[in-house]
Amino acid sequence: MKIGVARVSARDHHPEAQEDALRAAGCEKIFTGKASGKLARRPDLGKALLVAREGS
């Protein structure tokens, strides 16, 4: 299973184009996050890694 992570840096930005590209690349699960580039935490990436680790 392909897993994708879409991220935009500002709350007023829209991740739809990234999500569309990930779907076109065959991603079955997509996690989306909105966070500043300054933040070290990436909860969307953490969720994607957990799913990948579990193999679900």
The enclosing domain of 20 has a CATH number of: 3.40.50.1390
Contact 26, 2 (CB under 8 A): yes
Of the pLDDT bands very low, low, confident and very high (cuts 50, 70, 90), residue 37 is low
What separation, in Å, do the N-terminal and C-terminal C-alpha atoms of the chain show?
A: 8
For all residues of the chain together, what is the average pLDDT? 83
Name the more confident of 47 and 38.
47
Name the more confident of 43 and 6.
6
Total structural domains within the chain: 1
What range does the domain containing 7 cover?
A: 2-54
Instruction: Express as a percent the part of the chain with pLDDT over 70.
Output: 86
Mean pLDDT over 10-38 rounds to: 87
Is the model's pLDDT at 55 over the cut of 80? no
User: d(Cα 56, Cα 38) in Å, to the nearest integer?
Assistant: 31
User: d(Cα 45, Cα 30) in Å, to the nearest integer?
Assistant: 10
